[in-house]
C-alpha cells in the first residue's frame, strides 16, 4: 500500500521536473500559462496523496487552497492580463534554449547532490523527492533570470512558489496552516500588484522589456 | 534454438512485413480525416507497392553500383531491426545476436546507405536531403541510445527481449524515469520517421523535404523497397515504443496460445498509437529546420534527466 503511494509521489515529482524543463524551453507565453496550470495541478495531486497517506486533514485544506488559487484563480488572472496587454506571441530567451537546458541539467545534478544528505534526516515518506523539488526551485529561478520580458518573469516567480510548496510538502508534510495561508495570500496580492506594475511599465516605455528599467536617465 | 522459437521469429518477421504498410495506411487515413479530406483506402500502401514493383526501374547514367545496392541494404537493415524488436513474443532466436545498441547501429547503417545513395547521383536535391538527414540523425541517435539505457538501468540488461520480459512480467510498478524516457522517445521517433514537426512525409516542396529528397532519384522496384523500408522503420519504432512503455500482453517463451492472444492486443495498441501519431501530426505545425537541433536536444536532455531521476529515486 505505502509502496504504491511512494511510487505515485515519485511520479508526481518527476512530472514537476518535466514541467519545469518544459517551461524553461517554452517561448510562447500562452503555453507557459498552460504549463503553469498543469504544474499547480500536479502540486495539488501530490499534496492530496501525502494527506491521504499520512491522514493529516489540514493537508486536504491546503490542497484545496492550492487548487482554487493556482489552478483556477491565478491562471485566469494571467489569461486576462496577457489579453489586455496583448502579449500572446513568442518571446526569445536571453540565452539560446539548448544552452539553457544544459545549464538546467547541471542545476539538477547540483540540486540532487545538495538534497541527498538533507533528505536522509527527514522522516517523511516523500523524502526522496526533496532533490527534485529543490531542482524545480532552481530551474524556475533560472527561468526568471533568463527572460527579458516581464510576464514570463512573473510566471517564473509563481512557478518557484509552486516548487517551494512542493518541497515543503515532501520534506515536512507541509508548513503550518497559518504560514500557508499567509503565503497563499502573499502570492495572490503579489500577482495583483505585479499586474498593475506591468501596465505601468508598458505605459512608460511602450514595451514590456525590462531592460528599459536599467536606464535611470532619459536621453 | 528450439523449433517454437524459430516459428515465433519467422512469424514476427512476416507480421512486420505485412502490418507495416497497413499501419502507414491507417495513419494516412486518419490524417486525411482529421484534415477534413476524404481518405484513401486503408490498403492504399499495398496498392502503391504493387504498382511500383511492376514498373520499370529507371537509373540515372551517373549511378554507381552503390545506388542500386542501397535499397536492398536499407531494406535488409530495417527488416533485421524489426526482427529483433519483440512485438508478439519475447522468445526470439535472433534477439541475442543484437542488443539495443546494435539496434541503433542497424538503423544508423540504413541511414548511411540512404544518404550515400542520395549523394551518388550528384543532383542538388539528393545531397541537400542527405545533409539534412544526417543532421537529424546525429542528434537523434544519442537520444535514442539514452532512452534505451533508461530501460536497461531498470532491468539490468541491454537485450530488448529480456528488457521486455522483465518489464512485462514483473509486479506492476511506476518507474518515473520511464516517463522522461517516454517523452524523449516520442520526440525522437517523430524526428527519425520524418513526421510533421520535423519533416512532412507528404510533401515534395524542395525547401522543407528531408526524407523525400533522398528518394527523389529512385523509381520502380527500388522505390518500392525504399517505401516499404520506411514503413517498416515506423513499425520498428512503434514496436520499440510499445515494448518499453506498454509491454503488457507480450507472450513469454514457449506458449503459442499466448502468442495468438497477443496478436489482437498488438493490433489494438498499434491502432491507438497510429491514431495518436495522426493527431500529433494534425495539431502541430512543421518547424523551421534550425529549430530541429533544439527539438532533439530537448529529447536528449529529457532522456539524461530520466537517468538522473532513476539514480535519485532508485527503484
Reduced 3-state DSSP string for chain B: CCHHHHHHHHHHHHHHHHHHHHHHHHHHHHHHHHCCCCCCCCCHHHHHHHHHHCCCCCCCCCCCHHHHHHHHHHHHHHHHHHHHCCCCECCCCCHHHCCHHHHHHHHHHHHHHHHHHHHHCCCHHHHHHHHHHHHHHHHHHHHHHHHHHHHHHHHCCCCHHHHHHHHHHCCCCCCHHHHHHHHHHHHHHHHHCCCCCCCCCCCCCCCCCCHHHHHCCCCHHHHHHHHHHHHHHHHHHHHHHHHHHCCCCCECCCCHHHHHHHHHHHHHHHHHHHHHHHHHHHHCCCCCHHHHHHHHHHHHHHHHHHHHHHHHHCC
Question: What pLDDT, on the 0 to 100 scale, is given for residue A126?
Answer: 66
Length of chain A, in residues: 219
- Percent of chain B predicted with pLDDT > 90: 53
Q: Are B224 and B218 in contact (CB under 8 A)?
A: no
User: Looking at the domain assignment, is residue A15 inside a domain?
Assistant: yes
Residue with the bigger pLDDT between B220 and A176: it is B220
Please report whether residue A219 resides in a domain.
Answer: no
B16 and B263 Cβ atoms separated by less than 8 Å: no
| pLDDT > 60? residue B219 | yes
pTM, entire model = 0.89
Quick one: pLDDT band at residue B155, thresholds 50, 70, 90? Answer: confident
Cell numbers for B261: 492472444
**Beta pairing partners, A93:** A147
- C-alpha cell of residue A62: 491546503
Nearest residue on chain B to A111, judged by CA atoms? B312
Give the confidence band of B170 by pLDDT, cuts at 50, 70, 90.
Answer: confident
Task: Kindly determine whether residue B294 and residue A109, on different chains, have CB atoms separated by under 8 Å.
Answer: no
Q: How many CB pairs under 8 A join A and B?
A: 62
Question: Which residue in A has a C-alpha nearest to residue B295's C-alpha?
Answer: A98
Query: Per-residue pLDDT for B160 more than 90?
Result: no
User: With 60 as the cut, is the pLDDT of residue B65 above it?
Assistant: yes
pLDDT value of position B165 = 82
Average pLDDT over residues B51-59: 93
**Residue B51: Cβ within 10 Å count:** 11
Measured between CB atoms, does A15 come within 8 Å of chain B?
yes
Contact list in B for residue A108 (CB cut-off 8 A) is 305, 308
From residue B120, how far is each of B114, B125, B128, B129, B228 by CA, in Å? 10, 11, 12, 12, 21
Residues of B in contact with A112 (CB under 8 A): 308, 311-312
Question: Residue A138 domain-assigned?
Answer: yes
Q: In the block, which residue shows the cell 514541467?
A: A19
User: What is the reported pLDDT for B254?
Assistant: 64
Is the ipTM reported for this complex over the cut 0.90? no
Domain total of chain A: 1
Instruction: Assign 3-class secondary structure to chain A.
Output: CHHHHHHHHHHHHHHHHHHHHHHHCCCEHHHHHHHHHHHHHHHHHHHHHHHHHHCCHHHHHHHHHHHHHHHHHHHHHHHHHHHHHCCCCECCECCCHHHHHHHHHHHHHHHHHHHHHHHHHCCCCCHHHHHHHHHHHHHHHHHHHCECEHHHHHHHHHHHHHHHHHHHHHHHCCCCHHHHHHHHHHHHHHHHHHHHHHHHHHHHHCCCEHHHHHCCCCC
**Cβ within 8 Å of B, A 130-159:** 131-132
Per-residue pLDDT, A179: 79
Query: For B215-244, what is the mean pLDDT?
Result: 93
Q: Is B219 left (phi over 0), alpha (psi -120 to 50) or beta?
A: beta
Q: How far is CA B97 from the centre of its chain?
A: 19
What is the biggest distance separating any 2 CA atoms in chain B, rounded to whole angstroms? 61
Q: Are A196 and A190 in contact (CB under 8 A)?
A: no
Between A129 and B206, residue with greater pLDDT:
A129
Judging contacts by C-beta atoms under 8 Å, the chain B residues touching residue A21 are 298, 301-302, 305
A73 near B CB under 8 A: no
Residue B176 to residue A8, Cβ atoms within 8 A: no
Give the pLDDT confidence of B86-138 residue by residue, as tens digits. Answer: 888 877 777 777 788 999 999 999 999 999 999 998 888 889 999 999 999 99
Q: What torsion do the CA atoms of A14, A104, B287, B208 make, to the nearest 10 degrees?
A: -120
A189 lies within 8 A of chain B by CB = no
- Residue A41 in any domain: the answer is yes
Whether the per-residue pLDDT at B222 is higher than 90: the answer is yes
What pLDDT score does B107 carry?
A: 94
Please give the residue range of the domain that contains residue A171: 2-214
Partner B contacted by A87 (CB < 8 A): no
Q: Are B282 and B37 in contact (CB under 8 A)?
A: no
Q: For residue B156, what pLDDT is reported? A: 85
Question: CB neighbours (10 Å) of residue B4?
Answer: 16
Range B262-290 average pLDDT: 91
Q: Would you state the cell numbers that stand for residue B263, as one nine-digit string?
A: 496478436
Report chain B residues whose CB lies below 8 A from the CB of A7: 173-174
Q: Would you call A21 and B301 a contact, using CB atoms and an 8 Å cutoff?
A: yes
* Of A151, A126, A112, the residue nearest A53 (C-alpha): A126
pLDDT at B221: 93
Determine the pLDDT at residue A35: 94
Q: Are the Cβ atoms of A132 and B309 closer than 8 angstroms?
A: yes
B40 sits in the region (left: phi over 0; alpha: psi -120 to 50; else beta) called beta
Residue A129 and residue A163: Cα distance in Å, rounded?
11
For residue B315, the model assigns a pLDDT of 53
Q: List, in order, residues 6 or more apart from B34 with CB less than 8 Å away.
A: B278, B279, B282
- Interface with chain B: mutation pick from A17, A20, A46, highest number of B CBs within 10 Å: A17
pLDDT in tens for each of the 219 residues of chain A? 577 888 888 889 989 999 999 998 888 888 899 999 999 999 999 989 888 888 888 888 888 988 998 899 989 988 988 888 877 666 777 888 888 888 999 999 999 888 888 877 777 666 678 889 999 999 999 998 888 777 888 888 889 988 988 888 877 776 777 777 788 778 888 887 887 787 777 777 777 777 777 776 665
Mean pLDDT of B200-212: 80
A142, A24 contact by CB (below 8 A):
yes
The pLDDT score that the predictor gives to residue A218 is: 64
CA distances from A134 to A177, B20, B121 (A): 22, 45, 55
Which residues on chain A are in Cβ contact (under 8 Å) with B305?
A: 17-18, 21, 105, 108
B14-34 pLDDT per residue, tens: 999 999 999 999 999 999 999
- Enumerate the residues of chain B whose CB falls inside 8 A of the CB of residue A129: 313
Amino acid at each position: 500500500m505505502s509502496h504504491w503511494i511512494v511510487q505515485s509521489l515519485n511520479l508526481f515529482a518527476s512530472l514537476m521536473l518535466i514541467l519545469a524543463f518544459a517551461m524553461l524551453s517554452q517561448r510562447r507565453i500562452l503555453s507557459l500559462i498552460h504549463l503553469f496550470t498543469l504544474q499547480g495541478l500536479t502540486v495539488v495531486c501530490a499534496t492530496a496523496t501525502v494527506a491521504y497517506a499520512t491522514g493529516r486533514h489540514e493537508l486536504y485544506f491546503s490542497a484545496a487552497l492550492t487548487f482554487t488559487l493556482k489552478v483556477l484563480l491565478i491562471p485566469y488572472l494571467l489569461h486576462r492580463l496577457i489579453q489586455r496587454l496583448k502579449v500572446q506571441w513568442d518571446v526569445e530567451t536571453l540565452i539560446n534554449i539548448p544552452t539553457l537546458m544544459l545549464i538546467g541539467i547541471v542545476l539538477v545534478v547540483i540540486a540532487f547532490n545538495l538534497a541527498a544528505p538533507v533528505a536522509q534526516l527527514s522522516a517523511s515518506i516523500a523524502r526522496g523527492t526533496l532533490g527534485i523539488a529543490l531542482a524545480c526551485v532552481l530551474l524556475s529561478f533560472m527561468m526568471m533570470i533568463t527572460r527579458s520580458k516581464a510576464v514570463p518573469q512573473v510566471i517564473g516567480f509563481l512557478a518557484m512558489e509552486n516548487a517551494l510548496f512542493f518541497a515543503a510538502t515532501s520534506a515536512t508534510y507541509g508548513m503550518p496552516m497559518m504560514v500557508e495561508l499567509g503565503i497563499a495570500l502573499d502570492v495572490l496580492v503579489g500577482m495583483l500588484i505585479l499586474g498593475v506594475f506591468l501596465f505601468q511599465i508598458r505605459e512608460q516605455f511602450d514595451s514590456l522589456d525590462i531592460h528599459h528599467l536599467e536606464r535611470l536617465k532619459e536621453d | 534454438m528450439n523449433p517454437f522459437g524459430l516459428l515465433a521469429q519467422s512469424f514476427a518477421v512476416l507480421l512486420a512485413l505485412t502490418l507495416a504498410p497497413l499501419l502507414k495506411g491507417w495513419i494516412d487515413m486518419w490524417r486525411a480525416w482529421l484534415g477534413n479530406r476524404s481518405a484513401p483506402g486503408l490498403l492504399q500502401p499495398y496498392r502503391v507497392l504493387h504498382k511500383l514493383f511492376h514498373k520499370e526501374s529507371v537509373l540515372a547514367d551517373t549511378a554507381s553500383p552503390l545506388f542500386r545496392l542501397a535499397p536492398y541494404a536499407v531494406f535488409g537493415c530495417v527488416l533485421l531491426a524489426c526482427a529483433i524488436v519483440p512485438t508478439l513474443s519475447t522468445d526470439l532466436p535472433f534477439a541475442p545476436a543484437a542488443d539495443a545498441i546494435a539496434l541503433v547501429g542497424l538503423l544508423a547503417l540504413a541511414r548511411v546507405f540512404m544518404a550515400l545513395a542520395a549523394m551518388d547521383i550528384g543532383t542538388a536535391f539528393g545531397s541537400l536531403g542527405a545533409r539534412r538527414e544526417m543532421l537529424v540523425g546525429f542528434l537523434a541517435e544519442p537520444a535514442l541510445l539514452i532512452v534505451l539505457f533508461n530501460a536497461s538501468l531498470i532491468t539490468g540488461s541491454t537485450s530488448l527481449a529480456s528488457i521486455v520480459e522483465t518489464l512485462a512480467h514483473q509486479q506492476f510498478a511506476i518507474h518515473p524515469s520511464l516517463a522522461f524516457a517516454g517523452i524523449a522517445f516520442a520526440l525522437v521517433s517523430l524526428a527519425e520517421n520524418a513526421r510533421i514537426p520535423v519533416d512532412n512525409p507528404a510533401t515534395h516542396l524542395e525547401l522543407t523535404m528531408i526524407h523525400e529528397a533522398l528518394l527523389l532519384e529512385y523509381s520502380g522496384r527500388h522505390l518500392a523497397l525504399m517505401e516499404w523500408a520506411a514503413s517498416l522503420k515506423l513499425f520498428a519504432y512503434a514496436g520499440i515504443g510499445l515494448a518499453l512503455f506498454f509491454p503488457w500482453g507480450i507472450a513469454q517463451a514457449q506458449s503459442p496460445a499466448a502468442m495468438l492472444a497477443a496478436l489482437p492486443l498488438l493490433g489494438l495498441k498499434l491502432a491507438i498509437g497510429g491514431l495518436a501519431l495522426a493527431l500529433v501530426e494534425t495539431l502541430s505545425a512543421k518547424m523551421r529546420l534550425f529549430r530541429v537541433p533544439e527539438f532533439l536536444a530537448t529529447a536528449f536532455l529529457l532522456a539524461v534527466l530520466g537517468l538522473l531521476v532513476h539514480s535519485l529515486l532508485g527503484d
